[in-house]
Amino acid sequence: QVQLVESGGGVVQPGRSLRLSCVASGYTFNRYALNWIRQTPGRGLEWLAAISVDGTATNYADSVKGRFTISRDNSKNTLYFQMDRLTVDDTAVYFCARDFGFWGQGTLVIVSS
Amino acid sequence: DIQMTQAPSSLSASVGDRVTITCRSSLPIGNALAWFQQKPGKAPQRLIYTASNLQAGAPSRFSGSGSGTEFTLTITGLQPEDFATYFCLQHSRYPPTFGGGTTVDI
């Protein structure tokens, strides 16, 4: 069965960086685009980024464009999310998702001094 | 960006009730709409895709309808395990956008 498992969340100071990972299993990884989505109690669900099957095409929400980078390693069945210049507003649970039909369990990122 | 307006934001219902949740998009999106259920501490689970197609494994008491700008999720015969929060998502154009959510409680 399809499984997505995120990791890499934690507590980080404003202005610092964090890299999230999402390991996929149960399907042919390089046949599907992938997304990062985050959720906060105040702002709800927010799509952040998407990447094509081969990693050559990406899209970003304006809120993270230029600060966050989505990438993938098809040889490792892994999706990444490099988050730079973090702010307190980036505090959220971060999910990876395959075509919105399959989601990971989420990883919590807290940006705080 | 396309705005998704979901209503109501919360509702109270009883087991066996018929529940209707609506989403309205600020621009036409065809049938590029999905509905999700989320329980506390869990990831959203897709119930409906392309507006009216039941996700494999989702109970048949869930149904979706609509196209263009008006969409509806209906739960016919609410069950105890259906008390949760429901979201819509448009994926017609970037960026994909979610509705604000509807919490269904007792």
Residues in chain B: 106
**CB distance B101–A61 less than 8 Å?**
no
**CB distance B89–A61 less than 8 Å?**
no
A47 has a pLDDT exceeding 90: yes
Token pair recorded at residue B23? 């989403």
Using an 8 Å Cβ cutoff, are B74 and B88 in contact?
A: no
Q: What is the pLDDT of residue A37?
A: 98
| Average pLDDT value for residue range B84-99 | 96
Residue A60's pLDDT band, with cuts at 50, 70 and 90, is very high
Token pair recorded at residue B21? 């949740």
Q: Which residues of B touch A62 (CB under 8 A)?
A: 95
